[in-house]
Amino acid sequence: MEINFELTEEDFIKFNLYHMENSPSQKKLYLSLRFALPLLCAVPIYLIETGVFRQSGLSWLTISILFAAGWIFFYPKRHKHILRKQIKKLLHEGDNSSLFGKKTMLIDEKYIKIFDEHSSETILKNNIKSVKIYDDLILIYLSAITAHIIPIRNLDEATKKQLIKELD
């Protein structure tokens, strides 16, 4: 089976976002930033304004609750925006042109060969740790942090099904 596809910077960013959403350590960090941080900040806001400045407790309780609720509600979108921006910065720090562009994947019974004008890689099918399928990407994990990215936009439905069957 032969598959031709083009990998873009946006595909690589999506891969990293998907990976971070599913990583246990990143989930833990995300949850603590989303829920624990606003609660840790809301309590001092309330205590400082009511204790030190002797202002109305009810109004500052309301402000503290609104702050925490606003943070919890708006943080997921902000978090994705920050991650996307960091990934783009990392991609533009050096020459990463070999990551992107037109690639060809050849699959036979034992091997997967992926090549482009810059490089070639041969992988034993037995070395595939997992295959994750998203709406726009198929990720072939070779380790916990290394994966080959195949954009689905380059595949018709029959090719997609055949690829998934070959990788199982």
pLDDT digits 0-9 by tens, 23-46: 999 999 999 999 999 999 999 988
Q: Looking at the chain, which residues constitute the CATH 2.30.29 domain(s)?
A: 2-8+99-167
The closest alpha carbon to 4, from 131, 103, 114, belongs to: 103
Given pLDDT bands bounded at 50, 70 and 90, which one contains residue 99?
confident
Q: Are 26 and 83 spatial neighbours (Cβ–Cβ below 8 Å)?
A: no
Top-level class of domain 2-8+99-167: mainly beta
Amino acid at 30: Y
Q: Are 160 and 150 spatial neighbours (Cβ–Cβ below 8 Å)?
A: no
DSSP secondary structure letters along the chain: -EEEEEE-HHHHHHHHHHHHHH-HHHHHHHHIIIIIHHHHHHHHHHHIIIIIS---HHHHHHHHHHHHHHHHHHHHHHHHHHHHHHHHHHHTSS--GGGSEEEEEEE-SSEEEEE-SS-EEEEEGGG--EEEE-SSEEEEESSSS-EEEEEGGG--HHHHHHHHHHH-
Mean pLDDT of 117-132: 90
Residue in this structure with the two tokens 């609104």, named with its chain if needed: 66
Mean pLDDT of 138-156: 91
Rounded Cα distance between 125 and 129, Å, is: 9
Given pLDDT bands bounded at 50, 70 and 90, which one contains residue 73?
very high
